[in-house]
Amino acid sequence: MRSAWASASPTSRARALALLLVTVAVLLGAGPAGAKVYASQQEALQAAFPEADRIERRNFVLTPEQVERIEQRSRAPLDSRIVTLHVGWRGGEVLGYALIDIHTVRTLPEALMTVLEPEGSVRSVRVLAFHEPEDYLPPRRWFEQFEARRLDSNLRLRRGVHAISGATLSAQATTRSVRRALALHETLLAGKPALQSAAE
């Protein structure tokens, strides 16, 4: 029997390999030639939660119903039912949540980190790695428009999110990624008891 990897199309295999390389680049803070890595995962998380005394990694396995809800609310597909949240703690207080999303922009991937306030609004959005030509990357100031935003009908490109000439696909990918993060928070955390720290 042929493996799923062997039976996949060359395009699918190339995309999977590219995503793997970006994952390694983000974890290690260095990527292959042609890739631009702006921060490792550890560096980005420390910058996201400078007051934290610990940052915990929480894995969730989504049910089919949760996947459907998240995709409907975000208007974006999920590539996996396994989701990782990074939770910043100070003592017994949750400082916020960070989600690292690796996705394809045009033909190559980028890694984006969305940091959420405990109640679910966006604190910041940061590019960790970008494999497309840098001309396709929006300027840092463009990402600031997501700050304090929540998941609503206006959080869409050319509606409540400004388009940017020459980087339309990057802007679309970023907006989808932020919407996914907000939908994940809404589905997994909103209105539910506070997470318990693994250190307790």
In tens, the pLDDT along 84-102 reads 999 999 999 999 999 999 9
Q: Which two tokens stand for residue 78?
A: 């999920």
Q: Quote the pLDDT of residue 4.
A: 35
37-75 pLDDT per residue, tens: 999 999 999 999 999 999 999 999 999 999 999 999 999
Q: Mean pLDDT for the chain?
A: 85
Q: Which residues, including other chains, have CB under 8 Å from residue 178's CB and lie 6 or more apart?
A: 114, 122, 125, 146, 149, 155
Q: Whose structure tokens read 């292959």?
A: 32
Q: Quote the pLDDT of residue 199.
A: 65
Per cent of the chain over pLDDT 90 is 74
Q: What is the DSSP string of 73-119?
A: HHTS--S-SEEEEEEEEETTEEEEEEEEEEEESSSSEEEEEEEE-TT
